[in-house]
Amino acid sequence: MSKVAIIGAGGVGSVVAHKCAQVPEVFTHILLASRSLDRCKRVADEINEIEHRRIEVARVDADRVEEASALFRSYRPDLLINVALPYQDLALMDACLATGVHYLDTANYEPVDHARFEYSWQWAYDQRFREAGLMALLGAGFDPGITNVFCAHARNELFDRVEHVDILDCNAGEHGHPFATNFNPEINLREITQPGRYWENGEWHETAPLSERRGFDFPEVGPRTAYLLYHEELESLVKHLPELKSIRFWMTFGEDYLTHLRVLTNVGLTRIDPVEFQGRPIVPLQFLKALLPDPASLAAGYRGKTCIGCLVQGIQSGRQRKVFIYNVCDHAEAYREVRAQAISYTTGVPAMVSAKLVLTGAWQGSGVFNMEQLPPAPMLDALGRHGLPWHVQEL
């Protein structure tokens, strides 16, 4: 018997709750808590209808350590799946330490006023989680998450030495809106408007935002143009795969999306510093978020596929080898199963499977971990069964 608490009832939180409900032998009790109780209730009703299970709901402000701790003291979960926003990560890690709960998230901690995308704050909790005999698993979505697991699998099973990794994230779906983001708009736009950064020959290199691009031919999707971005898993993979000579992250965008983004940036609507408006401070990006579609609301009409994976080059038995390890996910199929679009689905499924591996003891350890530090085999064995089949294409 194990109890899981999920915090955050947005696009990803809804998928996590559905997927946990599909595995009653592990997740015997499920609590979904978020800032707005109504959203939790809506998801709970949907789970009752589709999965035929009742889950509990609660309201919590996860910025407040005491509020989250009180919730954990009364519900007594074994593990927390944090799929609220990156701003809440440290408060929720503190609450887990205070109440003896394992911790899992899908995005690195971010201070509200600085886009940093780095693990330093969360890695600093390692000693405290070790001493408490608890596990904190960071970045357990798809990218970061499964991309880290693909790299560990390449290192353990496919190569004698992994030398170059390009992480490729392609969304070839159509949602019918002129401009929308596929996950929380604030976090998404912070991520893609910062300078690009990649690792090569022992040092970091910086590029102007979205200035480097390349064409890739994606399985089941076809050729697309992808842009170099900095993404948080680069930091942990450089640390944990020290043999790497280079690692980069690429994401596809259409011309129309980039034109909208350029205009929004030029007029200052992606700024994260407060500006004075009618006598009070507002953060332009938070205002823009209020105008953009809720990512979960895109799901119903979304068509097309995502293809996310790792292009890995290295040495195997004295010869050069190059493979693409990837998953393809269909927006409409995700909607049919759990009423979500594929970006929420590809994030929520790995979070549920990671939670299952921790609760069943397949993944064990005390301290703070990134996904590539745990054995990849149990995750890769389970991933396809829970909705995300993966493939290795020899190139």
* CA 320/CA 159 separation, integer angstroms: 9
Taking CB under 6 A as the criterion, the residue among 62, 299, 349, 382 binding ligand NDP is 62
Taking CB under 6 A as the criterion, the residue among 99, 171, 347, 370 binding ligand NDP is 347
Q: Tell whether residue 340 is a contact of ligand NDP (CB under 6 A).
A: no
CB of 7 to ligand NDP, least distance (A): 6
Taking CB under 6 A as the criterion, the residue among 5, 47, 85, 135 binding ligand NDP is 85
Cβ-Cβ contacts under 8 Å for 359 (sequence gap 6 or more): 2, 4, 26, 27, 78, 79
Q: Tell whether residue 81 is a contact of ligand NDP (CB under 6 A).
A: no
Annotate each residue in 115-154 with x if it binds ligand NDP (CB under 6 A) or - if it does not, as one string: ------------------------x-xxxxx---------
Report the DSSP beta bridge partners of residue 216: 224
**Which tokens belong to 167?**
């992480």
* CA 47/CA 53 separation, integer angstroms: 6
Q: Tell whether residue 60 is a contact of ligand NDP (CB under 6 A).
A: yes
Q: Tell whether residue 63 is a contact of ligand NDP (CB under 6 A).
A: yes
CB of 183 to ligand NDP, least distance (A): 3
* CA 334/CA 332 separation, integer angstroms: 5
* CA 6/CA 8 separation, integer angstroms: 7
- CB of 87 within 8 A of CB of 13? no
Span near ligand NDP by CB under 6 A; candidates 20-28, 181-189, 248-256, 382-390: 181-189
**Which residues, numbered 289-318, are part of the site for ligand NDP (CB under 6 A)?**
295-296
**Which residues, numbered 11-30, are part of the site for ligand NDP (CB under 6 A)?**
11-13
Q: Tell whether residue 46 is a contact of ligand NDP (CB under 6 A).
A: no
Span near ligand NDP by CB under 6 A; candidates 84-92, 150-158, 270-278, 279-287: 84-92
Q: Which residue's CB is nearer to ligand NDP, number 65 or number 97?
A: 65
Taking CB under 6 A as the criterion, the residue among 69, 99, 171, 184 binding ligand NDP is 184
CB of 57 to ligand NDP, least distance (A): 12
CB of 361 to ligand NDP, least distance (A): 24
* CA 372/CA 348 separation, integer angstroms: 18
**β-bridge pairing 280-282 and 56-59:** unpaired
Q: Which residue's CB is nearer to ligand NDP, number 143 or number 166?
A: 143
CB atoms within 10 A of CB 277: 11
**Which tokens belong to 25?**
């032998």
CB atoms within 10 A of CB 354: 28
Indicate the residue whose CB is closest to ligand NDP: 10
Span near ligand NDP by CB under 6 A; candidates 10-18, 155-163, 193-201, 355-363: 10-18
Number of residues located near ligand NDP, criterion CB under 6 A: 35
What secondary structure letter does DSSP report for 303?
B
Mapped onto helix, strand or coil, the DSSP state of residue 28 is coil
- CB of 79 within 8 A of CB of 109? no
Q: What share of the chain is helix, strand, coil (3-state, %, to 5)?
A: 40, 30, 30
Span near ligand NDP by CB under 6 A; candidates 152-160, 180-188, 216-224, 267-275: 180-188
Q: Which residue's CB is nearer to ligand NDP, number 9 or number 251?
A: 9
Q: Which residue bears the tokens 């993966």? A: 390
Element (H, E) at 96: helix 89-99
Q: Which residue's CB is nearer to ligand NDP, number 61 or number 212?
A: 61
* CA 348/CA 332 separation, integer angstroms: 16
Span near ligand NDP by CB under 6 A; candidates 22-30, 59-67, 126-134, 218-226: 59-67
Q: What is the DSSP string of 180-212?
A: --SS-HHHHHHHHHSPEEEEETTEEEEE-TT--
- Interacting residue ranges for ligand NDP, rule: CB under 6 A: 7-13, 34-36, 39, 60-63, 83-86, 88, 106-107, 139, 141-145, 183-184, 187, 295-296, 343, 347
